[in-house]
Amino acid sequence: MEIQLEGQYLYKLNLLQRGPSGNSYRNTCHVVKNNITIDSNGNCFICNCDGWLPVPVGQVDDFDSFESVFESDIAQYLQKDIADKKYTYCSTELCGVSHEDVCANPSLYINIDNSCNLQCPSCRIEKVMHINGEQYNKRLHQIETVVEWLHKTVQELDVIMSGNGDPLASLICRPLLKNWPLDKHRLTLHTNGLLIEKQLKNQPVLDQVNQFRISVDAGSAKVYSQVRVGGNWDTLIRNLDFVSTLKKPTELIFTVQNNNISDLENFCQLVEHYKFDGSVTQLDNWSTWGRPGFEEWTHANGGDFLHHDVLDKSHANYTYARQMIQHCMTKYKRIRYTPAIATRLEL
C-alpha cells in the first residue's frame, strides 16, 4: 500500500523525525491497537497523538463503531508496519517507544472542535469559535456519531477532550458534556480551566470526570496575560479553588517557551499550593509560528518558532532554561517532565 499525505498531514509528517531510534527496534507499541484520536477535520488516527502518527485511517462517518476504526485497510497496514518494528510514520522519540514499550487503556481523544475562548499565540493566529454554518453542522454530526460509538462499545474507554480547543467553550462539545449519556466511560477534561465552575457546577457530568488537565503555562498574572491571551488570572484562580473542592485528580500543565521559562518556579509553587499534580512539556510547532522552509504552507505571521523554542540548543536562553528546569526538578516533587524535555536537555 502506498500512503500519500498532503496539506497539513504531510507538513506534520515532515516536521518530526520518523522511523526507529533508540530501542524501538526491540520495544512494542500497544497504543496502535486501542487508541483513537479524531481531529478537527473528522479524520481518525490510531495513536494518542495525531502529530506522532499523522496518517488518517478514515473519517468518523466512515465507521459505525469504535472497534471498526482499527479494521480499515490503512489501520491494518500501519499496525503491521509497527508490529514489524519499522515505525515508518511514527515519531518514536516523542511517543517514547524508543525508550520503552508504550501502552495505554483503550482511549478516545475527541479533538473535533478547535473553538476556544482564548487566543494563545502558541496555538492559533486568530480567535476560533464555531457557532453556526457548514463547519458547525458537520462537527455536530461527527459528535453525534461518536456518541453512538460510546453507546455501542462494550469496552470501558478513557475519553479525553479536547487537545486542540476548549470543550467547555465549544458550542459543539459543550452539549455532549451537559447531556453526557453514559456512565461506563471515564472522562478526562483538558481545558484552560476558565469555565469549569460556570459550566459544570452541579452538572451530572462532574461525576464522570476522572481527571482535570488544566493548561496554565504560567505561575503569575503577568506572564499568564502574555501566554494565555484573552484569559484572566483571577478567574483562573477562582476556578482552581473550585476544582480543589471536588477532590478529583487534577494536573496543571506548563508548556515551556521563551516567554514563560522565568515563571516555571511560580508555576511549581501554584501546583504545590493546591496539592495538584504538574506536568511540564515541550513547545510543539502548531504552525502558528514560522519555521524556515515551511512558511509557504502555514502562512504563519507571529514570528519565528525558534525564537520561542527555548529548549533548542542554539537559543540564547537555553542554558538558563536548562538550569531552571534542573532546579525545579530537584525542588518540586509533584511535577513530572515529559520524556522529550529530558531528551532535549540531555538530562
Site residues (CB under 6 A) for ligand SF4? 29, 31-32, 47, 52-53, 82, 87, 90-91, 95, 97, 102, 116, 118-120, 123-124, 165-166, 192, 215
**Smallest distance, Å, CB 339 to ligand SF4?**
12
| SS3 of residue 186 by DSSP | strand
Collapse the DSSP code of 131 into the 3-class scheme (helix H, G, I; strand E, B; otherwise coil) and give the result.
coil
User: Least distance to ligand SF4 from the beta carbon of 237, Å?
Assistant: 16
Nearer to ligand SF4, 102 or 329 (CB): 102
- Cell 481518525: give the residue: 44
Residue with smaller CB distance to ligand SF4, 31 or 60: 31
Q: Rounded to an integer, what distance in angstroms lies between the CA atom of residue 296 and that of residue 290? A: 9
Q: In the complex, what is the shortest distance from the CB of residue 173 to ligand SF4, in angstroms, rounded to a whole number? A: 12
Complex with ligand SF4: residue 176 or 284, whichever CB lies closer: 284
Which residue, 300 or 329, has its beta carbon nearer to ligand SF4?
A: 300
Closest approach of ligand SF4 to the CB of residue 326, in Å: 26
Residues 6 or more apart whose Cβ sits within 8 Å of residue 309: 257, 258, 282, 283, 285, 315
Question: Minimum distance between the CB of residue 151 and ligand SF4, rounded to whole angstroms?
Answer: 26
- Burial class of residue 136 in the structure, from the number of CB atoms within 10 Å of its CB (0-12 exposed, 13-18 middle, 19+ buried): middle
Nearer to ligand SF4, 63 or 89 (CB): 89
* Distances from the Cα of 162 to the Cα of 37, 68, 159, 340, angstroms: 10, 22, 9, 21
Percent composition of the chain: helix, strand, coil (DSSP 3-state, to 5): 40, 15, 45
CA-closest candidate to residue 44, choices 72, 17, 25 = 72
Shorter beta-carbon distance to ligand SF4: residue 99 or 138: 99
Distance in Å, CB of 123 to ligand SF4, minimum: 3
